[in-house]
Chains A and B, each alone.
Chain A
Amino acid sequence: MAVTARTREQVKALDKYKYGFVTDIEMETAPKGLNEDIVRFISAKKDEPAWMLEWRLKSFRRWLTMSKSEPKWAKVSYPPIDFQDAYYYAAPKKKPTLKSLDEVDPELLETYKKLGIPLAEQEHLAGVAVDAVFDSVSVATTYKGKLEKMGIIFCSISEAMQKCPETVKQYLGTVVPYTDNFYATLNSAVFSDGSFVYVPKGVRCPMELSTYFRINASETGQFERTLIIADAGSYVSYLEGCTAPMRDENQLHAAVVELVAPDDAEIKYSTVQNWYPGDEHGKGGIYNFVTKRGACRGRNSKISWTQVETGSAITWKYPSCILQGDNSQGEFYSVAITNHYQQADTGTKMLHLGRNTRSRIISKGISAGHASNTYRGLVRMGPRAGGARNYTQCDSLLIGDKCGAHTVPYIESKNRTARIEHEATTSKISEDQLFYCRQRGLSEEDAVSLIVNGFCREVLQELPMEFAVEAQKLVAISLEGSVG
């Protein structure tokens, strides 16, 4: 079997977890713990405007009052997190101002090579502009020139604060307010870096914008903050891919992503999340507590989330759409794979406020080993949402008899003309299917991977081409050891 067999070899070569290696780059790290001084340190490091520091401090003070409101409703369990026992800022020491890839730290480039992200090639071959986030600071940005000519801004959010502070100020925290939830508030106080995209009116971004996040420093919480604004009548597709090295300590990741789409704008946001899931006994792994939300503010606007979640020990994530503009559309396509002792509680919120708003939710949960996989989703039709429609499909696939799959849909309708459909299935990979595949020459693992890829196809085909291939490999890797 072509792809999976090759991938498996690579994985073996890298000792089970493909991306489990650590790059030795000198860190400039803030002292351990979290207090106002740390918040000031982060802000000073980034040379931020005063209003930004004020916003961070406001968030931090708010967060202090929330210490007892850490969300507990998700179907996940983990020991209490000691927020004082972590570092909140780490950056590669060589602060580069890069004109080309030649200036990037060679060691860093080597890391990307291991990850299968040859930046140099990507620039030419894939037509992907990569804003690479290595730990907390962006170190390499390509294609900037080409995008700049079209008026598209694609840079790190710290850079955006220098370049176009007014735009950042105008939109930051308007979709996910700093008071939103425990982790979003924490993020607002200490966010390190992330991506910023602005697409001007009527411009169709000619390439997929892509950021590879990578957690590298031990015990460093990652607090990415991403803000994407597609102005009226514009279109942008953004890819986010994540890998992290093997670590024993649990690492907290609490990102916030905000999307803004006014009249006739469209944003497509795709994620492949493959952070370290912990070992087969449930030791280690990333805690992935993420708040992602998009606002369809204008008429006929559209926001589409596609996610393939295979990594992390715990995933707590509900990419949502606020469908405010009339005729606006929200989509959520999700594959969540949990193996061994991974726990995922993920889904979406579709908040229909405007008339004739439409949403579509396709969720595929695959659970193997001792894992727990929950779909949790809210569809709310507001009083003004006349003629609004939602279609939800939640399918769960179980591998083995020690894992769990749960579907928790919340449906609220305050408008009689709104229509909501919900379908859910739970199935197992059948002996018949496995034997059929093996009789045709496929190994048991390849058979499982093929069957699961088939199960996820509706979602995987929503991914941009270059991600779809990666995602299929990931499906195979994440289910290794789940049969036999």
Chain B
Amino acid sequence: MTAMLEIKDLHATVDGKEILRGLSLSIKAGEVHAIMGPNGSGKSTLSYVLAGREGYEVTKGEVLYQGKNLLAMEPEERAAQGVFLAFQYPVEIPGVSNTTFLKHALNAVRQHRGESELDAMQFLKLLRETMKRLGMAEDMLKRNVNVGFSGGEKKRNEILQMAVLKPTFAVLDETDSGLDIDALKVVADGVNALRAPDRAMLLITHYQRLLDYIVPDRVHVLAKGRIVRSGDKSLALELEQRGYAEFAKEAA
């Protein structure tokens, strides 16, 4: 079976500084991978490069997504093709309700896919069902996108968006950071509920803790812009015990 996502020798710079230095990674459909690494190792840069953020310049290498050149696509095209990024710092949009935002997003993606747009009633039905499944309170819908949300609420909101948009490939950028244990469980349950044979996920995290709740198929250690070790979930535990310093040395 060919990989859903194939990253080959990826080099990327931000403000002229090289952050990713030959990163390679292959993720198959149905798999959940975790990338762990110290601050500044390039974790967030990887997520932005995959999502197509401006200012993150790929200088070498390629990324194939479902056999297509992902790097040639505009951010919204990638979203339409099923790429989703759960942001480390979800952005506030004043005056736009969560419902409105999600409806626009879903219909934009559906339109790209050649599917019919959902009307208000159909959409609300879908949204209510999804929220119920995720155990989220409906009052979140009327509030403006991330405005005045607590850290935990923002992260849960990302999971809600993911559940509604049903991506094929999702990157979760430090979705666990700043969460208390209850919020972490909600997020993990949401992610686990979305695990499916035709869907792949990449978890970016600092801590092993998240992986107690979302058990990954593969764990990778990122240091200085490259993957220095890969293994199964036991690698995360090893990392927790020994710390990143040793791996960073290996990368040097």
**CA gap between A294 and B105 in the complex, in Å:** 42
B108→A442 contact, CB < 8 A: yes
**Complex interface residues of chain A between 141 and 155 (CB less than 8 A to chain B):** none
Contact segment of B61-69, B74-82, B125-133, B196-204: B74-82
Residues 90-106 (chain B) with a chain A CB within 8 angstroms:
90-96, 100-101, 103-106
- In the complex, are the beta carbons of B112 and A450 less than 8 A apart? no
Residues in A neighbouring B150, C-beta threshold 8 A: none
Contact among B51, B54, B104 for A446, CB-based, below 8 A = B104
Given the interface contacts A450-B104, A454-B144, does A440 sit within 8 Å of B94 by beta carbon? no
Chain B residues contacting A439 (CB-CB under 8 Å) are: 51-52, 75-76, 78-79, 84-85, 87
Residues of chain A lying within 8 A (CB to CB) of residue B85: 439
Report yes or no: A435 in contact with B108, Cβ–Cβ below 8 A. Answer: no
The A269-309 residues at the B interface (CB cut-off 8 A) are none
Question: Are B96 and A451 touching (Cβ within 8 A)?
Answer: yes
B78 partner residues in chain A, CB cutoff 8 A: 439
Complex formed: what's the CA distance from A5 to B52 in Å?
Answer: 23
Give the nearest-CB partner of A440 in chain B: B105
Cα(A421)–Cα(B94), bound, Å: 22
Contact with B along A1-35 (1 / 0, CB 8 A): 11001000000000000000000000000000000
Query: Per DSSP, are chain B's interface residues mostly helix, strand or loop, or mixed?
Result: helix
Residues of A within 8 Å of B93, CB to CB, are 433, 436-437, 450-451, 454
With contacts A436-B91, A438-B75, A453-B95 known, is A2 near B54, CB below 8 A?
no
Query: Which residues of A, 411-452, contact B by the 8 Å Cβ criterion?
Result: 430-433, 435-444, 446, 450-451
With the chains together, A440 CA to B108 CA distance in Å? 8
Tally inter-chain residue pairs, CB-CB below 8 A.
Answer: 86
Closest to A442 in B: B108
How many angstroms between the C-alpha atoms of A443 and B109 in the bound complex?
A: 10
Task: Answer whether A456 and B95 are a contact pair too, CB < 8 Å, given A1-B104, A435-B53, A442-B76.
Answer: yes
A444 to B96, CA, bound (A): 16
What CA separation (Å) do A5 and B109 show in the bound complex? 13
Q: Is B13 an interface residue (CB 8 A)?
A: no
Smallest beta-carbon distance B201→chain A, Å = 16
The interface residues of chain B lying within 8 Å CB-to-CB of A435 are: 51, 53-54, 75, 91
Give min CB distance, B33 to chain A, whole Å. Answer: 20
A5-B111, A451-B93, A454-B144 known; A436+B87 contact, CB < 8 A: yes
B57 interface hit (Cβ, 8 Å): no
Contact pattern, A 441-475, Cβ under 8 Å of B = 1, otherwise 0: 11110100011011111100000000000000000
Chain B positions within 8 Å of A450 at CB level: 93, 96, 100-101, 104
Q: How far is the CA of A457 from the CA of B95 in the complex (A)?
A: 6
**A436 near B79 (CB under 8 angstroms)?**
no
* Residue interface bits B154-171, CB-to-A below 8 A is 1, else 0: 000000010001000000
Chain A neighbourhood of B165, CB < 8 A: 440-441
B189: A residues at CB distance < 8 A: none
B9 on interface, CB distance cutoff 8 Å: no
With A2-B104, A433-B91 already in contact, the answer to whether A443 and B76 are too (CB < 8 A) is: yes
Whole-angstrom distance between the alpha carbons of A443 and B74 in the complex? Answer: 9
Partner of A438, one of B74, B92, B96, B103: B74
Complex Cα distance, B50 from A435, in Å, reads 13
Say yes or no: A441-B112 contact (C-beta < 8 A), given A1-B104, A1-B107, A450-B104.
Answer: yes
CB–CB B95/A438 < 8 A: no
Q: Which B residues touch A446, using CB under 8 A?
A: 104, 108
28 CB contacts below 8 A, A to B, read A1-B107, A1-B111, A2-B117, A5-B111, A433-B91, A435-B54, A436-B87, A436-B91, A438-B74, A439-B52, A439-B76, A439-B78, A439-B79, A440-B105, A441-B106, A442-B104, A442-B105, A443-B76, A444-B76, A446-B104, A450-B100, A451-B93, A451-B96, A454-B93, A454-B96, A454-B144, A456-B95, A458-B95
Known: A1-B107, A439-B84. 19 other contacts (CB 8 A): A1-B108, A2-B104, A2-B117, A5-B111, A432-B91, A435-B51, A436-B87, A436-B93, A437-B105, A438-B75, A438-B79, A439-B87, A444-B76, A450-B93, A450-B101, A450-B104, A451-B93, A454-B95, A457-B95
